[in-house]
């Protein structure tokens, strides 16, 4: 059994919390005491049924305001798969939370209110899904019960969305007509939409292929050097880290960056196991044949497929801090285990995420998205985000506040 991480984008009014509540409720993932708390709550739907949205509204401030203010993670499983949902808010001021939830997801559910069709917010959410390179997109047309379960409405909206998806270069898009409130096509197939021949949302989530593909880009940032320094293990020197992408085999030639020195993998350890091969996602300890100087922040890569190396890098950026971008100060940049200093060299453009228009800009504020050129103090060994997400992303930290100020997705070596 494997895990699928997905996130949901949509506003309160699209019934997003209700959809997640419905997934949990209809898969029997709500436990008795949670259900009891739910039933005793004062919030009910107009027809007196339980308001499933309460299940995902975690914090008191949210209950008071009736909105989701942060990313909430929910867990459920069926006999086919385990699921981790990042429930992200749809309000414009919370773009940063959506980017956060989306950054670890393999699949995005975009909710559209069938009464309203594709609106500004749909464009915004779809743009972010495209920017973050989410592999699979499911567009749920919700509230089908309010449009008479109409196939014509469904077709009109999907046609419009397909144009948008093509503009945004979204690859794998699936459309499902649902009613989260009534339960149609969420877990159970609907009896009111015989014209829809596809899978229910849950059935789709259980069967979509999310296996990791190995493009040969073996990368492992060193997090920690294991050196017991005991008499029995005097010469033991293991490089501990989690493989970001690709796979490593015993006897593979590897290069250590930024130094550029190279060696051969002598042994792979996963605690008491010594496998001949290890894949992306696994936390391992690697041993090399030669004694070379390696420390935290270095990255071990397959010598046949070297990453790009640069200090001037063009990157997409999402600003996440209340303090605006300041090109006069030095930020910290964290790229996996590598921490270095960084400045913003140039703003190439800002994107109006409602119209997707690129604009000239002199400032970047909270929730602004666009493209910049950065200059780092140390050379970075990175891949282009669209080719290898795991080694193509970084965060900026404001060293005055220590807050995470921005998300960066590397696009190219800058001239």
Q: How far is the CB of 147 from other proteins (least distance, A)?
A: 32
Within 13 Å and on the Cβ side, how many CA atoms surround 282? 19
CB neighbours of 327 closer than 8 A, spacing ≥ 6?
343, 344, 345, 347
* Site for other proteins contains 390 (CB under 8 A): yes
The helix (H) or strand (E) run that includes residue 200 is none
Question: What is the bridge-based pairing of β-strands 172-177 and 136-142?
Answer: parallel
* Site for other proteins contains 376 (CB under 8 A): no
Tell which residue, 114, 82, 98, has the closest CA to residue 15: 114
125-164 residues in contact with other proteins (CB under 8 A) are: none
Query: Given candidates 84, 119, 146, 306, which one binds other proteins under the rule CB under 8 A?
Result: 84
Tell which residue, 341, 344, 326, 331, has the closest CA to residue 397: 331
* Site for other proteins contains 264 (CB under 8 A): no
d(CA 383, CA 399): 26
d(CA 383, CA 389): 8
* Site for other proteins contains 31 (CB under 8 A): yes
* Site for other proteins contains 242 (CB under 8 A): yes
Locate tokens 């290898």: which residue?
A: 388
The helix (H) or strand (E) run that includes residue 258 is none
* Site for other proteins contains 388 (CB under 8 A): no
95-114 residues in contact with other proteins (CB under 8 A) are: 96-97, 99-100, 103-104
Query: Given candidates 73, 287, 345, 378, which one binds other proteins under the rule CB under 8 A?
Result: 73
* Site for other proteins contains 82 (CB under 8 A): yes
Query: Given candidates 49, 59, 152, 290, which one binds other proteins under the rule CB under 8 A?
Result: 59
* Shorter beta-carbon distance to other proteins: residue 226 or 264: 226
Query: Given candidates 13, 151, 212, 326, which one binds other proteins under the rule CB under 8 A?
Result: 212
Q: Check: CB of residue 351 under 8 Å from CB of residue 370.
A: yes
* Shorter beta-carbon distance to other proteins: residue 29 or 174: 29
* Shorter beta-carbon distance to other proteins: residue 66 or 281: 281
* Shorter beta-carbon distance to other proteins: residue 265 or 408: 408
The helix (H) or strand (E) run that includes residue 363 is none
* Site for other proteins contains 116 (CB under 8 A): no
* Shorter beta-carbon distance to other proteins: residue 95 or 126: 95
Query: Given candidates 12, 119, 332, 361, which one binds other proteins under the rule CB under 8 A?
Result: 332
214-233 residues in contact with other proteins (CB under 8 A) are: 214-216, 223-224, 226-228, 230, 233
Tokens (6 digits) for 53: 């949205």
Q: Check: CB of residue 108 under 8 Å from CB of residue 205.
A: no
* Site for other proteins contains 93 (CB under 8 A): no
User: What do you get for the CA distance between the two ends of the chain, in Å?
Assistant: 46
Tokens (6 digits) for 378: 């140390």
Instruction: Please give the size of the binding site for other proteins, defined by CB under 8 A.
Output: 73
Contact pattern from residue 168 through residue 197 relative to other proteins, giving x for each residue in contact according to CB under 8 A and a dash for the rest: ------------------------------
DSSP class of 307: -
* Site for other proteins contains 75 (CB under 8 A): yes
* Site for other proteins contains 324 (CB under 8 A): no
CB environment 273-299: b (16+ within 10 A), e (fewer):
eeeeebebebebbbbbeeeeebeebbb
* Shorter beta-carbon distance to other proteins: residue 144 or 384: 384
């Amino acid at each position: 059994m494997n895990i699928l991480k997905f996130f949901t984008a949509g506003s309160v009014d699209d019934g997003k919390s209700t959809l997640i509540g419905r997934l949990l409720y209809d898969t029997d993932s709500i436990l008795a005491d949670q259900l009891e708390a739910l039933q005793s709550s004062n919030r009910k739907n107009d027809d007196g049924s339980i308001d499933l949205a309460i299940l995902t509204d975690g914090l008191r401030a949210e209950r008071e305001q009736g909105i989701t203010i942060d990313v909430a993670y929910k867990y459920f499983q069926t006999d086919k798969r385990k699921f981790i949902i990042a429930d992200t808010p749809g309000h414009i001021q919370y773009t940063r939370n959506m980017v956060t939830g989306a950054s670890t997801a393999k699949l995005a559910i975009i909710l559209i209110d069938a009464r309203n069709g594709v609106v500004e917010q749909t464009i915004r959410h779809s743009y972010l899904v495209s920017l973050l390179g989410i592999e699979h997109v499911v567009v749920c047309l919700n509230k089908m019960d309010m449009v008479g379960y109409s196939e014509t409405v469904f077709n009109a909206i999907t046609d419009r969305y397909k144009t948008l998806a093509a503009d945004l270069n979204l690859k794998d898009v699936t459309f499902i007509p649902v009613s989260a409130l009534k339960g149609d096509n969420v877990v159970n197939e609907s009896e009111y939409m015989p014209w829809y021949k596809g899978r229910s949302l849950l059935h789709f989530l259980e069967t979509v292929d999310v296996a990791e593909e190995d493009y040969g880009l073996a990368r492992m940032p060193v997090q920690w050097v294991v050196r017991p320094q005991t008499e029995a293990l005097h010469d033991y020197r293991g490089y501990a880290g989690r493989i970001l992408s690709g796979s490593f085999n015993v006897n593979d030639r590897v290069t250590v960056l930024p130094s550029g020195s190279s060696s051969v993998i002598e042994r792979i350890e996963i605690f008491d196991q010594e496998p001949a091969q290890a894949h992306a996602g696994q936390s391992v300890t690697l041993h090399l044949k030669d004694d070379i100087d390696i420390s935290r922040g270095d990255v071990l890569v397959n010598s046949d497929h070297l990453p790009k190396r640069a200090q001037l890098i063009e990157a997409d950026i999402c600003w996440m801090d209340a303090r605006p971008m300041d090109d006069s100060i030095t930020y910290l940049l964290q790229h996996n285990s590598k921490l270095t200093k960084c400045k913003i060299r140039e703003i190439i453009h800002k994107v109006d995420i409602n119209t997707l228009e690129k604009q000239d800009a002199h400032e970047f504020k909270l929730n602004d998205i666009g493209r910049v050129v950065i200059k780092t103090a140390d050379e970075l060994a990175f891949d282009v985000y669209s080719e290898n997400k795991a080694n193509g992303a970084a965060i900026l930290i404001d060293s005055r506040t220590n807050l995470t100020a921005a998300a960066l997705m590397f696009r190219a070596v800058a001239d």
